Chain A
Amino acid sequence: DGGITQSPKYLFRKEGQNVTLSCEQNLNHDAMYWYRQDPGQGLRLIYYSQIVNDFQKGDIAEGYSVSREKKESFPLTVTSAQKNPTAFYLCASRTGGSPQETQYFGPGTRLLVL
């Protein structure tokens, strides 16, 4: 059963704490993306990676970090520097070929601050 999995579904963060959101795909896609969605808003790009061991900042990268050590995994760490982390986080992937290749999204992780 191919697809993108994100865990956990809900995550609680305490003040000053770093938390890591997991994203795994078994679609053999080269490119992976992290988006943040606030209530009633569209998605905003945090980081993206087009190939293993390489990643680029998106529009709102401050307070976040990523790694891409394996093709199938692209974890996102929300650091204590992110002052307003409460949001819905979505991971996506695509084959990374031509520009019209569509992105496939995971089910999302909702992050809440205690």
Chain B
Amino acid sequence: LAKTTQPISMDSYEGQEVNITCSHNNIATNDYITWYQQFPSQGPRFIIQGYKTKVTNEVASLFIPADRKSSTLSLPRVSLSDTAVYYCLVGSSGNTGKLIFGQGTTLQVKP
């Protein structure tokens, strides 16, 4: 399973766009990139998933360059409720679905 590296923490202000970058230099050919969000004392929640180029849904965008060695989660116009820990995960160990969580990025949105 590919190891991921993310910034430990980030600060932002309400209304700004936030970009969180994740490095995954050892990503395998069939690995997908998935981002989860976790609030304190709650289970992680799926945000977005992609394989290459760009993926967009109603809450975020995911940018993946051609070499796939990194990815960037983009949160448009954040609000205070976006304060959370964001995890970048790569791969799923074949068909077991085993996920490897790093420490994640703690995003603090200020008013």
Contact = CB atoms under 8 A, between A and B. Distances in A.
Contact of A58 (B43, B45, B98): B98
Nearest to B32: A100
Interface in A64-114: 88, 90, 92, 94, 96, 98-108, 110
Contacts of B31: 99
Interface of A: 4, 31, 33, 35, 40-45, 48, 50, 56, 58, 88, 90, 92, 94, 96, 98-108, 110
Contact of B101 (A40, A43, A104): A43
Contacts of A99: 30-32, 91-95, 97
Nearest to B87: A42
A99 B8 CA distance: 27
A56 B96 contact: yes
B11 to A, nearest CB: 17
Given A48-B98, A58-B98, A108 B43 contact: yes
